[in-house]
Amino acid sequence: MTQVLLETHGLTVRFGGHVAVDAVSCAFHAGELTAIVGPNGAGKTTFFNLISGQIPASAGRVDLEGDDISRLSVSERCRRGLGRAFQLTNLFPGLSVLENVRLAIQAHRGAGRSLLTMADSHHALTTEAMAVLERVRLDRLRDQPVNALSHGNQRKLEVAMLIALDPRVYMFDEPTAGMSVDEAPVVLDLIAELKAERDRTILLVEHKMDVIRTLADRIIVLHNGALVADGEPGAVMASDVVQEAYMGKELADV
């Protein structure tokens, strides 16, 4: 098997008495796209929050490229190569489209600590940011303030911010939710391109079965916070546990 980039060991979080993520142990490999599915409230986003560090785990551990990162801060995990796009769009609303991506590039290049140079004189950062914007077809909107963008374009920018970080592990949380039919392919094609690079790990939370079928190498199913199925897409979709636990009805529709 290829190299393991990310691995969770018994990852658990409790909110009061409610176990939102329940002892999830799972390894993710380089070059693999794993779809994470499960009904609303299954704990998918919370699982991401534990991996990227927004929420401290009640128990368990996260390893990135073999190192335990459970005690590191969110920013430290990001600097180590863990990139995340959010389910609810989470941008710098008052700044321009270009500035949003530039900030991500700048973070990735470690250039944020310069106090007395002019930001606009760092042309390499701007060029790189424009290249990312072209990939999501937002280059023409570079000077628009983010809060003036349509929902679909904000979702694209959300993805652009993640790509700008050039991480080892990509975490997409329903990247196309609320996007129109003509907008979604831009993002999906991009994810396919990333996958083709083969040296990254991609985690994708997604509800749309057709998307999963075309992109995923593997599916894991969360139900009430627990990992109930894991495997190659065809097998997981057909398995009894999935049929009963969650997808029975939806699969019947397909």
Partner 1 sequence: MIMKLLSGDTPRSKILTLVLLAIFLCLALAPFLFPGVRSLDTAARIAIFIVLAASYDLLLGYTGVVSFAHTMFFGIGAYGVGLASQHMGRGYSALIVGSLSGALLAAALAFVIALFSLRVRAIFFAMITLAVASAVAVLVSQLSWLTGGEDGFTFRIPRELGPALRLGEFAGVKINGKLVNYYLIFTLSLILFLIMLRVVNSPFGRVLQAIRENDFRAEAIGYRVVWYRTVATCLSAAIAALAGSLFAIWLRYVGPDTTLSFAIMLDLLLMVVIGGMGTIYGAAIGATLLVLAQTYLQDLMGSAAAATEAIPLLSRLLDPDRWLLWLGVLFILSVYFFPTGIVGRLRAGK
Contacting residue, 52, 153, 154, 201, with partner 1 by CB under 8 A: 52
| Residue pair 6/64 in contact by the 8 Å Cβ criterion | yes
* 3-class secondary structure, 230: strand
Helices 151-164 and 184-196 sit at what angle, rounded to 10 degrees? 20
Residue 18 Cβ, how far from ligand ATP at the closest point, in Å? 6
- 76 touches partner 1 (CB under 8 A): yes
Residue 208 one-letter amino acid: K
Provide the mask over 54-93, with x wherever binding to Mg ion is found by CB under 5 A and - wherever it is not.
---------------------------------x------
**Phi, psi values for residue 221, rounded to 5°:** -115, 125
- 75 touches partner 1 (CB under 8 A): yes
Distance separating alpha carbons of residues 106 and 178, to the nearest angstrom: 29
Residue 215 interacts, among ligand ATP, partner 1, Mg ion, none and using kind-specific CB cut-offs from 5 to 8 Å, with none
CA 39 to the chain's CA centroid: 18
- Please, which residue, 124 or 251, has the CB nearer to ligand ATP? 251
Helices 97-109 and 151-164 sit at what angle, rounded to 10 degrees? 20
Q: Which of 9, 43, 8, 13 is nearest to 223 (CA)?
A: 43
Contacting residue, 4, 95, 130, 177, with partner 1 by CB under 8 A: 95
Residue 90 Cβ, how far from Mg ion at the closest point, in Å? 13
Residue 75 interacts, among ligand ATP, partner 1, Mg ion, none and using kind-specific CB cut-offs from 5 to 8 Å, with partner 1
Residue 43 interacts, among Mg ion, ligand ATP, partner 1, none and using kind-specific CB cut-offs from 5 to 8 Å, with ligand ATP
Q: Are strands 59-64 and 67-68 parallel, antiparallel or unpaired?
A: antiparallel
Distance separating alpha carbons of residues 149 and 178, to the nearest angstrom: 14
Binding site for Mg ion (CB under 5 A): 44-45, 87
Binding site for partner 1 (CB under 8 A): 52, 54, 73-76, 78-79, 84, 86, 90-95, 99, 102-104, 106-108, 111-122, 125, 161, 165
